[in-house]
């Protein structure tokens, strides 16, 4: 048998088809591995939401009072000072949560005044990809002290 020395493109076409098939299989395999990770259960031991919400709950009264005192000293009424203070803290808490990887938000903020004492009540919503919780935070502020 004698081989022909002419150009034969059949082998190159077969090789190109094989490369395309291998690339397709590889991309499907990568996609399958990524999808398999989505169905895995979350780690229930993650306590970032609890820690972040505890930090906010412990710090919120003193931060509110400190900021309100600054506005009160500049001439605003006690009530207005506390309202401005808690509003600005809402924005800071959102940012603090973004840094921690936890969504933190003050919800249903109410500020009331009775006998010279200003009461603040709010719900703190905290969530990450694993868990979600809300907790009520209530405290009183008296800026005349």
69 plus 106 within the same structural domain: yes
pLDDT in tens, 86-101: 999 988 888 777 777 7
For the stretch 41-46, contacts whose Cβ atoms lie closer than 8 Å and that sit 24 or more positions apart, written own/partner, are 42/129, 42/130, 43/130, 44/130, 46/128, 46/130, 46/131
33 plus 84 within the same structural domain: no
37: pLDDT confidence band, cut at 50, 70 and 90?
A: low
14 plus 54 within the same structural domain: no
Residue 63 falls within a domain, yes or no?
yes
Residue span of the structural domain in which 14 resides = 8-38
**Stretch 52-73: mean pLDDT, rounded?**
90
Residue 43 falls within a domain, yes or no?
no
Quick check: 140 and 126 in contact, CB under 8 A? no
Residue 6 in this model has a pLDDT that exceeds 70 = no
CA distance 141 to 130: 35
Residue 40 in this model has a pLDDT that exceeds 60 = no
Question: Residue 137 is part of a domain; what is its CATH number?
Answer: 3.30.1300
pLDDT of 5 reads: 54
pLDDT in tens, 102-129: 888 999 999 999 888 899 999 999 888 7
pLDDT of 110 reads: 94
pLDDT of 42 reads: 41
134 plus 114 within the same structural domain: yes
CA distance 16 to 1: 28
pLDDT of 39 reads: 45
| Cβ-proximal residues to 95 (8 Å cutoff; 6+ apart), any chain | none
């Amino acid at each position: 048998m004698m081989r022909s020395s002419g150009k034969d493109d059949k082998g190159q076409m077969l090789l190109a088809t094989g490369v395309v098939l291998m690339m397709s299989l590889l991309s499907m395999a990568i996609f399958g591995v990524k999808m398999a990770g989505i169905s895995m259960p979350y780690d229930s031991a993650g306590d970032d939401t609890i820690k972040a919400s505890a930090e906010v709950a412990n710090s919120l009264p003193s931060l509110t009072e400190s900021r309100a005192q600054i506005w009160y000293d500049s001439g605003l009424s006690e009530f207005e000072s506390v309202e401005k203070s808690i509003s600005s803290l809402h924005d800071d808490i959102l940012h603090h949560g973004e840094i921690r990887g936890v969504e933190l938000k003050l919800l249903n903020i109410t500020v009331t005044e009775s006998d010279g004492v200003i009461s603040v009540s709010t719900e703190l919503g905290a969530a990450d990809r694993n868990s979600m919780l809300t907790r009520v935070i209530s405290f009183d502020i008296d800026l005349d002290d």
